[in-house]
């Protein structure tokens, strides 16, 4: 897919692009004032062209308000400069059971497609913010790993199959792998399992040039309720065998509420607990 509808404008921002100052001392009030023209739900599209990609950004969430505020403050202008047609879905896990990042991503995908004709999905942690305006938040011919150059890892790829932090899938690519596994409770492994799905589905992964995809990861301690998952390795090994019965096709959840905030749509969901 290309962005022909917005080509002229893309050229304009390319010329003015470059390092980008991330603002971390922000209040939610300031963020709302800066973006007062946005319709409720945080959905924005370019005024003078039709973007071919309609992008849902899905953020897994629980108790990370300070990070969400910083993400929203920086990312709305960033995405608008890229002439993106995008909506923001913050998918909040209800209750106290172990955090399940991957299942929340599946819920975000399933809820977003009910609202708009999205054809690109960017699954992003709430605490990673791009440092360069040239880092295109778009889908590509292959699933794309976008968190390949983080400041906290000295802008290096930790290991070759790393697929965590931010990934972008077209709708077709995501359906082809049946989404994420629903079976990863606690921290770690679900991203490696998704990588195995991509390979099992005979796709490759792409990464942007690490000089351009430099991003800031906000440092934090491990969250309560997101302790390391010690059951992930056997699941990762059998990803290819399990993927067609564990994922979007087996997803069950109960929506507690869907709220259209000024800057994002918040979906609060009960996703159950580990078996
Ligand atoms: N999250 C919450 N609340 C929680 C836990 C996680 O909102 O209680 C969300 C949030 O969007 C966060 C994401 O889940 O950004 C990932 O969780 P994390 O921030 O704890 O993950 P971390 O920064 O990931 O530790 C680093 C991954 C690099 C190594 C990958 C190896 N597979």
Centre of ligand 1 to C-alpha 15, Å, is 34
Each residue's pLDDT tens digit, 179-197: 999 999 999 999 999 999 9
Residue from 88, 223, 232 to probe ligand 1 pocket by mutation (most atoms less than 8 Å from CB): 223
CA quadruple 199, 202, 208, 209: dihedral, nearest 10: 90
Query: From CA 102, how far away is CA 106, in angstroms rounded?
Result: 7
Contact call for residues 185 and 224 (beta carbons, < 8 A): no
Comparing 18-27, 45-54, 112-121, 156-165, which segment has the lowest mean pLDDT? 18-27
Instruction: Sheet containing 144-145: give its strands across.
Output: 144-145, 166-170, 120-124, 54-61, 85-93, 265-270, 254-260
Mean pLDDT value of segment 77-96: 95
Percent of the chain with pLDDT over 70: 93
Whole-number average pLDDT of the chain:
92
Contact call for residues 96 and 225 (beta carbons, < 8 A): yes
Centre of ligand 1 to C-alpha 9, Å, is 34
Residue 17 has a pLDDT of 56
More confident residue, 132 or 39: 132
Phi/psi for 19 (5° steps) reads -55, 150
Q: Which atom of ligand 1 is nearest to the CA of 128?
A: 15
Mean pLDDT value of segment 97-109: 98
Q: Which atom of ligand 1 is nearest to the CA of 63?
A: 3
Q: Which atom of ligand 1 is nearest to the CA of 61?
A: 7
Residue 275 has a pLDDT of 83
Centre of ligand 1 to C-alpha 153, Å, is 15
Q: Is the pTM of this model over 0.80?
A: yes
Confidence of residue 8 (pLDDT cuts 50, 70, 90): very low
Neighbours of 97 (CB within 10 A): 14
Each residue's pLDDT tens digit, 209-241: 999 999 999 988 889 999 999 999 999 999 999
Centre of ligand 1 to C-alpha 125, Å, is 6
What is the complex's ipTM, to 2 decimals? 0.91
Centre of ligand 1 to C-alpha 229, Å, is 12
**Which residues have any ligand 1 atom within 6 Å of their CB?**
59-64, 99, 101, 125-127, 164-165, 187-188, 191-192, 223, 225-226
Query: From CA 249, how far away is CA 160, in angstroms rounded?
Result: 29
Each residue's pLDDT tens digit, 145-175: 999 999 999 999 999 999 999 999 999 999 9
Centre of ligand 1 to C-alpha 126, Å, is 8
Q: Is pLDDT at 82 greater than 60 in this prediction?
A: yes
Mean pLDDT value of segment 84-113: 97
Q: Is pLDDT at 45 greater than 70 in this prediction?
A: yes
- For the chain, give the longest Cα–Cα distance: 52
Mean pLDDT value of segment 195-204: 98
């Amino acid at each position: 897919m290309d962005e022909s509808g917005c080509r002229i404008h893309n050229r304009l921002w390319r010329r003015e692009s470059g390092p980008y100052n991330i603002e971390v001392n922000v209040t939610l009030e300031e963020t709302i004032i800066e973006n007062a023209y946005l319709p409720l739900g945080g959905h924005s599209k370019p005024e003078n062209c039709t973007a071919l990609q309609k992008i849902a950004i899905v953020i897994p969430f629980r108790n990370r308000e300070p990070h969400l505020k910083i993400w929203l403050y920086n990312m709305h202008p960033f995405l608008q400069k890229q002439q993106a047609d995008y909506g923001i879905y913050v998918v909040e896990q209800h209750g106290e059971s172990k955090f399940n990042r991957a299942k929340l991503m599946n819920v975000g995908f399933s809820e977003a497609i009910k609202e708009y004709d999205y054809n690109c999905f960017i699954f992003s942690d709430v605490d990673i913010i791009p440092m360069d305006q040239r880092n295109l938040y778009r889908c590509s011919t292959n699933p794309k790993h976008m968190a390949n150059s983080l400041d906290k890892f000295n802008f290096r790829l930790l290991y070759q199959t790393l697929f965590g932090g931010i990934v972008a899938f077209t709708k077709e690519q995501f359906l082809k792998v049946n989404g994420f596994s629903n079976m990863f409770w606690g921290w770690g492994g679900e991203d490696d399992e998704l990588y195995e799905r991509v390979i099992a589905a005979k796709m490759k992964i792409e990464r942007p040039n690490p000089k351009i995809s430099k991003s800031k990861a906000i440092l934090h301690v491990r969250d309560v309720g997101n302790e390391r998952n010690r059951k992930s390795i056997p699941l990762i090994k059998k990803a290819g065998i399990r993927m067609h019965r564990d994922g979007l096709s087996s997803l069950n959840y109960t929506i507690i509420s869907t709220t259209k905030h000024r800057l994002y749509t918040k979906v609060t969901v009960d996703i159950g607990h580990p078996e």
